[in-house]
Amino acid sequence: MEMHDGLSDRVRERLRGIGALSEAERKSAAEEAQLDELLRRFYANDIQGDSILEALKTYERDKKWALLRAARDKLKQSFKWEELRLEFTETKGGSMTVAKGKPQEATEVPTGGGAVLELTDATFDAAVSEHALLVVDCWAVWCGPCRMVAPVIEELAKDYAGRATFGKLDVDRNPAIARRFQIQSIPMILIFKNGRLVNQKLGALPRAMLEPAIAKHVETKEPVPPAGD
C-alpha cells in the first residue's frame, strides 16, 4: 500500500485548515493525516489488519521511524490492538521494526451465573427495546481493565435486579455494534433508557463513580409489566 502517493480529499481538507506551512512541515502533516485516515478505516472495519501491517512495513522500509512510533502509540489506545498482534522492536540507534506477533491465549471473563446478559450483534437491538433501563459493559477477553469492571457490573446487576438490566458485549466478537457506537477504547459502559442511549462511561470506573450515572435513570414507580404478561 503506497501511503505517500497523493493525498485523499479528507487529508487535503484537513491540511487546508492548518494554515501556512513549510514544505517539510506540510509533508510531515500530510503523512500524519494519511496515517490517521488509515487508522480510521481500520477502526471502521473498512480495511483489515494485513493492510495496516503492509502500510507499517512501508514506513519501516522508508525509515520513517516517527510515523511508526505514532502508529504504535495510537493503535495501543484502541481495543483492536490485541487483534492486530503486532510486535514493534526499537533499537538503541532509534530505528524500529514491525512484525506480526504470535496469538495470545485468551480466557473468558465470568459473568456471575447468568445475572448479566450476554449480548451479541444479533440480540443487541432486541435487548435495548425490551428493557426500560439497560446497562451494557463493552469489553474483550484480552482487556485487563475490563476485568476490573466485571465484578462491579455483576454486583450492580444483583443490587438493581428488577430495576435495571445489565449486559456484556464482547466487541471483538460483535464488531457491528462496536462500529455503530464508535467504540474505539474499552471498557466502555453504555446506558440505555427506553431504547435511547442516555450516557456512556469510559474506563475502569469503581462503583462509586459508575453507580450515580445508572441510579439517576432508575424508575421509582412500579415498573410496567412487559406486553403479553
Per-residue pLDDT tens over the stretch 206-229: 999 999 999 999 975 444 445 554
How distant is the alpha carbon of residue 54 from its chain centre?
Answer: 22
What is the number of other CB atoms lying within 10 angstroms of the CB of residue 39? 20
**pTM of the shown model:** 0.53
Number of domains in the chain: 2
Span 129-134, average pLDDT? 94
Enumerate the H helices of 77-174 as residue ranges: 81-84, 124-130, 144-159
Strand, helix or coil at 67? helix
Nearest to 181 by CA among 43, 49, 80: 43
Report the C-alpha gap between 187 and 203 in whole angstroms. 5
Pick the more confident residue, 4 or 180. Answer: 180
What is the number of other CB atoms lying within 10 angstroms of the CB of residue 42? 20
Report the C-alpha gap between 129 and 118 in whole angstroms. 15
Asked, for residue 4, whether it belongs to a domain, the answer is no
Pair type for strands 165-170 and 196-202: unpaired
Pick the more confident residue, 35 or 1. Answer: 35
Asked, for residue 136, whether it belongs to a domain, the answer is yes
Span 29-33, average pLDDT? 88
The model's pLDDT over 95-129, given as tens digits with 9 standing for 90+, comes to 999 998 865 444 444 433 336 898 999 999 999 99
Which of 21-35, 81-95, 134-148, 196-210 tops mean pLDDT? 196-210
Asked which of 5-9, 81-85, 140-144 is least confident by mean pLDDT, the reply is: 5-9
**φ, ψ dihedrals at 117, nearest 5°:** -70, 140
Report the C-alpha gap between 223 and 29 in whole angstroms. 55
> Are 168 and 199 members of one domain?
yes
C-alpha cell at 6: 497523493
Report the C-alpha gap between 144 and 19 in whole angstroms. 41
Report the C-alpha gap between 1 and 194 in whole angstroms. 45
Asked, for residue 211, whether it belongs to a domain, the answer is yes
List the CATH number of the domain containing 197: 3.40.30.10
Mean pLDDT of the chain: 82
Radius of gyration of the CA atoms of the chain, in A = 22
Query: How much of the chain, in percent, has pLDDT values that exceed 70?
Result: 76
Final residue before a domain boundary, out of 100, 129, 145: 100
Predicted pLDDT of residue 116: 87
Q: Which residues are catalytic?
A: 143, 146
> Are 61 and 27 members of one domain?
yes
Asked, for residue 106, whether it belongs to a domain, the answer is no
The model's pLDDT over 36-86, given as tens digits with 9 standing for 90+, comes to 888 877 766 678 888 899 999 999 999 999 999 999 988 887 656 767 788
Predicted pLDDT of residue 48: 82
